[in-house]
Chains A and B, each alone.
Chain A
Amino acid sequence: KAGVTQTPRYLIKTRGQQVTLSCSPISGHRSVSWYQQTPGQGLQFLFEYFSETQRNKGNFPGRFSGRQFSNSRSEMNVSTLELGDSALYLCASSLVSFGNTEAFFGQGTRLTVV
């Protein structure tokens, strides 16, 4: 069974630009969550989607948005990039949506904002 696939693996963007990251969950998994990891703040929850609906949202500004498609693939978008958005963005998929099963993580997208 293929794991969680995130694309691209690395990105370099300029301040003010926008970026879209993609995540393909494990087949059959309907829940997709996104996390931001930085040295200073650690791993922080961005949002979670289940059956194309956002179920939970972390404490991030509106510049961070996401969506999920009918095939469970998910994208997250960051607009008007800031230097502080440089981070490892991790996507995780889960079989069910009530926190009772483990999350399977992708390898992440390393975003650098210059």
Chain B
Amino acid sequence: SQQGEEDPQALSIQEGENATMNCSYKTSINNLQWYRQNSGRGLVHLILIRSNEREKHSGRLRVTLDTSKKSSSLLITASRAADTASYFCATAPLNQAGTALIFGKGTTLSVSS
């Protein structure tokens, strides 16, 4: 079953604009991760934020985590056409031995030039 729910389901922006995607989840987590997928290919890991962290940056990416609201957001600044892809949040449930991730249904981002 899906734990994460991304919002919006689809997002269309112009190059240079910022893109914000949100993710909500249901149970306590160990960490939350964001992945990118291009056209039904494999997923590429973008960033991992642990449950005791509130914000993390990686290049043009900024992720926030609010465990009290069970939500996270991914901000992509100065978007490029190459950022066009589907973005998924994935949670690692708390106290789970193992690397099973629970994915949301994703946000499809389209960046036009």
Contacts and interface: CB of A to CB of B under 8 A. Distances in A.
Interface range, A side: 20 to 34
B26 interface: no
Given A42-B2, A48-B99, A107 B106 contact: no
A69 B93 CA distance: 26
A5 B33 CA distance: 22
A102 B105 contact: no
Contact of A103 (B30, B41, B101): B101
A19 B105 CA distance: 26
B57 to A, nearest CB: 16
Contact of A102 (B1, B2, B33, B106): B33
Interface of B: 1-2, 30-31, 33, 35, 40-45, 48, 50, 88, 90, 92-93, 96-106
B103 A42 contact: yes
Interface of A: 4, 31, 33, 35, 37, 42-45, 48, 50, 55-56, 58-59, 88, 90, 92, 94, 96-108, 110
Chain A to chain B: the 4 pairs with minimum beta-carbon distance, closest first: A99-B92, A43-B103, A55-B98, A102-B45
A102 B48 contact: yes
Contacts of A94: 99
A107 B41 contact: yes
